[in-house]
Amino acid sequence: MTVSSTNHTFRKFKSLALNALCIACAVLVILPLAVILFYLVQKGASSLNWAFFTGVPKPAGAPGGGMGNAIVGTLELLLLASIIGVPIGVLGGIYLSEYGGERLNTWIRFWADVLNGVPSIVWGMVAYALVVLPMKGFSAWAGGLALGFIMIPLVLRTTEEVLVLVPRSYREAALALGLPQWKTIARIVLPTAMRGIVTGVLLAMGRVAGETAPLLFTAFGNSNWNHHLAQPIAALPLQVFSYAIAPYDDWNRQAWAGALVLVSLTFLLSSGVRLFLGNRLQKNT
């Protein structure tokens, strides 16, 4: 039996065409991101200076000023959100992967996915009702709680997924050494999955770092430095929002710069620390 050469050429052509299609789609995915980054740098980079990172907003009309308070505020809010979201999410993920029964797990997963789909402004309303009303004022606590709520289902699901990927044989080996289950999980399973868990946490932080809606009536924003977590606090997305819709050219330019800083922050969160962690773990594997 011979293979005809026309057949062969046609196959080569099909393979080539499909390859080209895949590459085109990949470019389509990356292109918008590249365009956004390019545009942000073009519009915002000129407003980036030392004062932008260290100063606070100037009154309307006065030139200069910066978003230092908003940058620090966003980092503070992220920390607060992580303090709430990471332990609950990770422990819940451990429960799903290591302890829970199949029926209950199905429900927990379902509800986590529903929570994941809840619009973020609803979380702002929940934090408003839980913290702002009783404390009679907007506060960093309320903003952190709202962001923490959003992190919980994200961290929960990614933690569960990476724990399930840890081979059963490691758990069995540890149990066969006469280790109780909690030690097996804490000292064998978690360290093995640590990289994935940290990645999940960082991605969740990157996701909530850019959230604006849940902060509108919780953290509220602040045109000065925040000295107490029970006071309103500035946040980058809020600052970008209010500067972008303001009728002053200088503020508009600063909004571009703020957006650039925000994108860089999420980029650093999801890639920088991951790279560092990857290098550190690669020594062990």
Interface positions with another protein (CB under 8 A): 102, 167, 169-170, 172-180, 183, 187-188, 191-192, 194, 283-285
Measured distance CA(171)–CA(189) in Å, rounded: 7
- Give the number of other Cβ atoms within 10 Å of residue 147's Cβ: 32
- Residue 189 or residue 219: which is nearer to another protein going by CB? 189
CB of 31 to another protein, least distance (A): 38
CB of 57 to another protein, least distance (A): 47
CB of 201 to another protein, least distance (A): 18
Q: Answer whether 52's CB lies under 8 Å from 113's CB.
A: no
- Residue 38 or residue 276: which is nearer to another protein going by CB? 276
- Residue 136 or residue 283: which is nearer to another protein going by CB? 283
Q: Answer whether 219's CB lies under 8 Å from 72's CB.
A: no
Please name the residues in contact with 138: beta carbons below 8 A apart, sequence gap of 6 or more.
Answer: 132, 217, 218, 219, 220, 231, 232
Phi, psi of 270 (to 5 degrees): -85, -15
Structure tokens that stand for 32 in this block: 């918008």
- Residue 102 or residue 249: which is nearer to another protein going by CB? 102
CB of 72 to another protein, least distance (A): 35
Indicate the SS3 state at residue 90.
helix
CB of 221 to another protein, least distance (A): 44
Angle at the Cα of 277 (from 271 to 278), degrees rounded to 5? Answer: 85
- Give the number of other Cβ atoms within 10 Å of residue 111's Cβ: 12
- Residue 64 or residue 167: which is nearer to another protein going by CB? 167
